[in-house]
Amino acid sequence: MNVINYTQGVLQYIPFFYVIWSDDLLSYSEISVIKTAIHEDETLRKDDQDILISWLNPKAPPKDKELKNWKKTITNSYIKLVESEVHPLTTFCQKLVCYYHADCPFNVRLKDIEINLGIQPNHYKHLFDLEVVQEITSNHYDSSKIDLILKGKHTTVVDDFRKVLKAPIFDWGIKRTKEEFREHVLQQVKFLAKEGYGAMAYPEAYGGTENMPGYAAIFENLMYVDGSLAIKFGVQFGLFGGSIQKLGTKKHHDQYLTNTGETKLLGCFAMTETGHGSNVRGVKTTATYHKETDSIIVHTPGKNDNKEYIGNALHSTMASVFAQLIVNGKNEGVHAILVPIRNKEHKLMPGVTIEDNGYKLGLNGVDNGKIWFHQVRVPRENLLNKYGDINANGMYHSDIKNPNKRFFTMLGTLVGGRICVARAGLGGAKKALAIAVKHALKRRQFNDSIKIQEDLLMDYPTHQLRLTPAVAACYVYDVTLTHMMEIYSDKSVVDKRKIETQAAGLKSIITWFSNNTIQECREACGGKGYLLENQIANLKNDVDIFTTFEGDNHVLLLLAAKGILSEFKSEFNSAGFTAVLKLLGSRLTDKLSTINPAYTNNTDKDHLYSSKFHKHAFDYRTRRLTYTLAMRIRDYVKKGIPSYQAFLKVQTHLLALGKAYSIELAYTTFTNFTETIEDEKYRQLFQKMGTIYALHELRKDASWYLEQRYISGTKSKAIRSRVERLSTELRPHIKTLVDGYGIPEHCMNAPISKN
């Protein structure tokens, strides 16, 4: 027993008195509550009660000496306050008595004071030493190991890049004017160019390492700094530089590629037009070859035929312009031509008109503009001639004779951009989730009738359900996009049509997912998520446009669906159609028309968690949609409806097929990847994330599966229940999972994400 000047009865009240007198604002209602508790406290002797009551006189508050004695008594005990206790201050009092006296029961009267006065730790925790034993997260998994699994062979590249992002130029701040913002982003891009990252995807001869997968891996990290930086970087080096690299030949590479990678040449990618949007084949800008002067004349023929929403338009000196190439009176289709748009003094070239698009919903650090060309003449050599050229005799030639194939081969160069946009959107979703989760692991709200300590937001099942499936989906999409870029960059894969179909669908579902996730995170953070300082608002505004550029998502899903139906010709006869149906039919099993009732009603955990079930469900949906879509188109064509009109009538069906195919692709890619993880503990973690992704996606489309009688109502309920259960099971590891994204700490500067 320790020597102390206070009796056991008085001692147990000292922490309460120390708290209530710390602000010198003891109210009469508080006095009444405390007096009642003291009078009803059977553990107190009469003299103890008298001492305590004497300390409740507002007109004669305890002397400073007394307050110092209280503090000394508390400090000398080395007892720490545990915020997560059900009744933290009462429990603290009990522990204090235990330190100085042998007998130390829990005092319910003190608990009554704590409840009735609504005293909570945030009111007084600054007065005591705190012991952090809140089990807000588990250390069962190591986030750095998870990050390592995601980075894979790009670990060194990504880690080095994250270190570069520590430079002061990447410190985040609110830029109020677009001019200031644009200039800041431009300097950031130039800084990265000096570090060698602009030319990263280019051949070594032009300052690069020809590492397109590595380029895509670092691209996501740019979103952790700022969306405008990611897009400006992508326009300069990916779109403009990429068009020179992918569509040009050695003469263009030698003349422009090094300067582009070093930002000595700033360029833009002028494809989209006001009147034609995603219809690249239908652009109206013309590039007419003039044989007498051996030049190409670029012209905007109509009011709405101008290039629209062109990133880098205000800073650039050259544009990669997509136009209808006309040679000897014949339209050879869309080609890209390099057109100087400003001189060395940054003055517009003759015939070029550029207007600022002005302020946008987001990405105001990117200088988007409109461009018109009025009979602008450039040398014949400015034609990016990898897939189509005009020789010295003024004759057009292409090794790809079929105009359609030539057009889609050229557009294949956009695949890398679509993958990068999806990665950027995914980066935005990851950062929003990291902010929201970390906020939910410290923000408390509500409690039950007996707890004083409020509950963490992350401990509410609804909050878990809002965020956890999205946290897992980020892993699925990360792995999938990495795999897609590897295939796209594989030079042995000559025909890129399949990857174009896949990239179109994935870009759509992932950018939609990103927007929905960021909105959910904003709401999950309440009013704090609405503040600019917490960065979710910026992410929300910046990522919004990702559903539109690099291809409108609906258009891309239609493209993906038509890729799946690639055996169809634009116009086909009955024999051709029969052949297609025979091919489709051979891919279908009897299970399409007959589903075993035992399977339909199976709610066993092992079955619902089985990747075999998930793959079958996704495969069934894709095949069924393909088959029924083919049948519908056939029926329309049989009635004499032109194929184009037939496709218009089934657009919603096409969209459903595009989504189904993309989700199946993502899940299959992820499950194949998880099988390669050598560490069993982490392999099982990734498998669990794949499971929650699959069940969540099946749940979202439960109505379709119910309509097809693939699942019963009972099974649908079981799937919903399992998603909720898995969200709860991952709760202890949720912080580790968002840390596993590898977002650099210096990029996580939202105040609500701090501990």
* Structure confidence by residue, pLDDT tens digits, 225-264: 999 999 999 999 999 999 999 999 999 999 999 999 999 9
Could you give the CA distance from residue 454 to residue 445 in angstroms, rounded to a whole number? 5
- The answer on pLDDT for 573 being more than 50 is no
Among the four given CATH numbers 3.30.470.10, 3.90.550.10, 1.10.1370.30, 1.10.540.10, the one describing domain 146-261: 1.10.540.10
Predicted pLDDT at 30: 82
Element (DSSP H or E) covering residue 510: helix 497-524
In sequence order, the 6+-apart residues with CB closer than 8 A to the CB of 173 are none
Q: What is the C-alpha end-to-end distance of the chain, expressed in Å?
A: 38
**Tokens 């469900």 belong to residue:** 617
Taking only Cα atoms into account, the Rg of the chain, rounded to an integer number of angstroms, comes to: 33
Q: What percent of the chain has pLDDT over 70?
A: 93
Element (DSSP H or E) covering residue 699: helix 680-700
Residues 4/100, Cβ–Cβ less than 8 Å: yes
Nearest residue to 670 (alpha-carbon basis) of 465, 428, 512, 506: 506
Could you give the CA distance from residue 712 to residue 599 in angstroms, rounded to a whole number? 9
| Beta-ladder partners of 331 | 326
Quickly state the pLDDT bin for 594 (edges 50, 70, 90). very low
The residue type at 602? N
SS (H, E, C) 42-61: CCCCHHHHHHHHHCCCCCCC
**How many beta carbons lie within 10 A of that of residue 78, not counting itself?**
8
Could you give the CA distance from residue 715 to residue 722 in angstroms, rounded to a whole number? 10
Predicted pLDDT at 721: 93
295: helix, strand or coil:
strand
Dmax of the chain from CA atoms? 116
For the record, the structure tokens of 353 come out as 């008109």
| 74: exposed, middle or buried (Cβ count in 10 Å: 0-12, 13-18, 19+) | buried
For the record, the structure tokens of 350 come out as 């003759």
Average pLDDT rounded to a whole number, residues 709-737: 94
Task: Name the range with the highest mean pLDDT among 106-115, 127-136, 712-721.
Answer: 712-721
Residues 16/87, Cβ–Cβ less than 8 Å: no
> β-strand 286-290 against 318-327: which pairing, if any?
parallel
Quickly state the pLDDT bin for 589 (edges 50, 70, 90). very low
In sequence order, the 6+-apart residues with CB closer than 8 A to the CB of 438 are 735, 738, 748, 752, 753, 754, 755
Per-residue model confidence as pLDDT tens digits over 349-384:
999 999 999 999 999 999 999 999 999 999 999 999
Could you give the CA distance from residue 732 to residue 36 in angstroms, rounded to a whole number? 42
- The answer on pLDDT for 494 being more than 80 is no
Predicted pLDDT at 55: 92
Predicted pLDDT at 740: 98
Nearest residue to 83 (alpha-carbon basis) of 453, 441, 403, 608: 453
- The answer on pLDDT for 335 being more than 80 is yes
Predicted pLDDT at 595: 65
Predicted pLDDT at 409: 84
Predicted pLDDT at 294: 97
Residues 289/296, Cβ–Cβ less than 8 Å: yes
- The answer on pLDDT for 134 being more than 50 is no
Residues 614/692, Cβ–Cβ less than 8 Å: no
Predicted pLDDT at 208: 95
- The answer on pLDDT for 697 being more than 90 is yes
What is the number of helices (H) and of strands (E) in the chain?
32, 11
Residues 601/714, Cβ–Cβ less than 8 Å: yes
Predicted pLDDT at 569: 43
Quickly state the pLDDT bin for 87 (edges 50, 70, 90). confident
Could you give the CA distance from residue 336 to residue 345 in angstroms, rounded to a whole number? 25
Lowest mean pLDDT among 219-233, 449-463, 572-586, 638-652: 572-586
Predicted pLDDT at 578: 53
Average pLDDT rounded to a whole number, residues 655-672: 98
- The answer on pLDDT for 93 being more than 50 is yes
Predicted pLDDT at 593: 46
Q: What percent of the chain has pLDDT over 90?
A: 74
For the record, the structure tokens of 581 come out as 């149906």
Could you give the CA distance from residue 547 to residue 519 in angstroms, rounded to a whole number? 14
CA distance to 72, 423, 683, 741, per residue, from 141 (Å): 41, 25, 11, 13
- The answer on pLDDT for 665 being more than 90 is yes
Average pLDDT rounded to a whole number, residues 421-448: 93
> β-strand 352-356 against 369-373: which pairing, if any?
antiparallel
pTM equals 0.84
- The answer on pLDDT for 615 being more than 80 is yes
Predicted pLDDT at 575: 44
CATH code, 417-739: 1.20.140.10
Predicted pLDDT at 448: 65
Average pLDDT rounded to a whole number, residues 160-170: 97
Average pLDDT rounded to a whole number, residues 598-607: 90
The DSSP-derived string for 343-398 is -TTSPBPTTEEEEE----SS-TTS--EEEEESSEEEEGGGB--SS-EE-TTS-EE-
Nearest residue to 89 (alpha-carbon basis) of 106, 101, 104: 106
Give me the residue spans of the domains in the chain: 8-133, 146-261, 268-405, 417-739
- The answer on pLDDT for 388 being more than 80 is yes
Lowest mean pLDDT among 119-128, 205-214, 220-229: 119-128
Mean pLDDT computed over every residue of the chain: 91
Predicted pLDDT at 58: 86
Per-residue model confidence as pLDDT tens digits over 435-492:
999 999 998 887 765 555 678 899 899 999 999 999 999 999 999 999 999 999 988 8
Annotated active-site positions, please? Answer: 550
Nearest residue to 97 (alpha-carbon basis) of 170, 17, 9, 166: 9
- The answer on pLDDT for 527 being more than 90 is yes
Element (DSSP H or E) covering residue 230: helix 227-233
Task: Give the residue ranges of DSSP H helices in 79-154.
Answer: 88-100, 108-116, 121-124, 143-151
Give the fold, CATH level 3, of 268-405.
Butyryl-CoA Dehydrogenase, subunit A; domain 2 (2.40.110)
Predicted pLDDT at 314: 98
In sequence order, the 6+-apart residues with CB closer than 8 A to the CB of 690 are 472, 476, 611, 614, 667, 670, 671, 674
Predicted pLDDT at 590: 43
For the record, the structure tokens of 419 come out as 């993958």
